[in-house]
């Protein structure tokens, strides 16, 4: 059986490709394979940024594998430590993930993209949460994440009507970062990843960890939590060699040499 998930390294950038023709649908083994890839990214200190994309074809991902469901895979099946698609409940991943959405992102495919930190979309991409048409709801993050990213009436409409959202509309609402021609998608995603990866890796992790921990709080409470010692990535950044290297490199007018420690 062909591995549905492949990976590629380019310096500090780790590319993860979901390639399960024809629609990159996700069953339990595919979720577990995605988790293995994301765990490798999480646990390797030489890697700073991940890019997630779909293989060749029309789909980034069609979401849950309905054929597997028809053959007995439960809608609430245990998909492994990272939840559905290996990322949607991977709470201890503090490194940035870019979703390079190459086509249709439906149902759990849209939820997978929403679990990333940044989204670059091809001009052929479309987004939809189709679960309501199947008698279920988007409980792999869609019903939780989308109302935090869109105005509530728009999120309710997307969740309750299953209508498709094109990339320009998604860009207009601030749901994605950029729309590019499909042929340029990976070039643009890689350029963004390299720009991010040029910065101090512990600072990148601290940014993600602090935002994740403080987003529900007001600014005062956010400060309190950030300064409390309860966010390990933030404290590790402050005490790191890189926090000394940055100002020293600036003073010496040279490029910093990040060590990730």
Quick one: three-class SS letters along 86-151?
Answer: HCCCCCCCCCCEEEEECCEEECHHHHHHHCCCEEEEECCCEEECCHHHHCCCCCCCHHHHHHHHCC
- Same domain? For 183 and 208 the reply is no
Nearest-angstrom CA–CA distance, 209 and 127 = 27
103 contacts 57 by C-beta, under 8 angstroms: yes
With vertex at residue 213, the alpha carbon angle to CA 43 and CA 223, rounded to the nearest 5 degrees, is 125
pLDDT reading at 1 higher than 60: no
| DSSP character string of 30-46 | HHHHHHHHHHHHHH-TT
Specify the number of domains making up the chain: 2
Does some domain include residue 261?
Answer: no
What confidence tens digit (pLDDT) does each residue in 103-112 have?
999 999 999 9
Nearest-angstrom CA–CA distance, 106 and 57 = 14
Nearest-angstrom CA–CA distance, 181 and 257 = 34
What is the model's pLDDT at position 190? 98
pLDDT reading at 74 higher than 70: no
- Same domain? For 188 and 222 the reply is no
Q: Which of 15, 111, 126, 188 is catalytic?
A: 111
For residue 135, give its domain range.
5-197
**Based on the number of CB atoms within 10 Å of its own CB, is 96 exposed (0-12), middle (13-18) or buried (19 or more)?**
buried
Nearest-angstrom CA–CA distance, 178 and 139 = 26
- Same domain? For 205 and 192 the reply is no
Whether 241 is catalytic is: no
- Same domain? For 15 and 47 the reply is yes
- Tokens (6 digits) for 158: 């997307």
Is the model more confident about 72 or about 11? 11
Does some domain include residue 101?
Answer: yes
Boundary-marking domain end, from 178, 197, 216: 197
What percent of the chain has a predicted confidence (pLDDT) above 70?
97
Q: Which of 15, 126, 131, 188 is catalytic?
A: 131
- Same domain? For 32 and 143 the reply is yes
Whether 89 is catalytic is: no
């Amino acid at each position: 059986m062909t591995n549905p998930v492949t990976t590629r390294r380019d310096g500090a950038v780790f590319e993860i490709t979901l390639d399960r023709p024809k629609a990159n649908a996700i069953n339990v083994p595919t979720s577990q394979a995605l988790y293995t890839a994301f765990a490798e990214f999480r646990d390797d200190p030489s890697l700073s940024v991940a890019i997630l994309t779909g293989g060749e074809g029309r789909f980034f991902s069609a979401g849950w594998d309905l054929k597997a469901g028809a053959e007995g895979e439960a809608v609430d099946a245990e998909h492994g430590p990272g939840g559905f698609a290996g990322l949607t409940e991977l709470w201890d991943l503090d490194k940035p993930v870019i979703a390079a959405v190459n086509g249709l992102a439906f149902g759990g495919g849209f939820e997978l993209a929403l679990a990333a930190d940044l989204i670059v979309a091809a001009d052929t991409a479309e987004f939809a949460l189709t679960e309501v048409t199947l008698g279920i709801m988007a409980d792999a993050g869609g019903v939780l994440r989308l109302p935090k990213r869109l105005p509530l009436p728009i999120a309710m409409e997307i969740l309750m009507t299953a209508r498709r959202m094109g990339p320009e509309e998604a860009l207009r609402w601030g749901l994605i970062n950029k729309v590019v021609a499909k042929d340029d998608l990976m070039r643009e995603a890689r350029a963004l990843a390299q720009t991010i990866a040029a910065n101090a890796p512990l600072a990148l992790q601290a940014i993600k960890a602090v935002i994740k921990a403080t987003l529900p709080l007001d600014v005062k409470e956010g400060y309190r939590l950030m300064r409390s010692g309860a966010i390990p990535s933030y404290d590790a950044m402050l005490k790191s060699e890189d926090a000394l290297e940055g100002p020293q490199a600036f003073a010496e007018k040279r490029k910093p040499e990040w060590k990730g420690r």
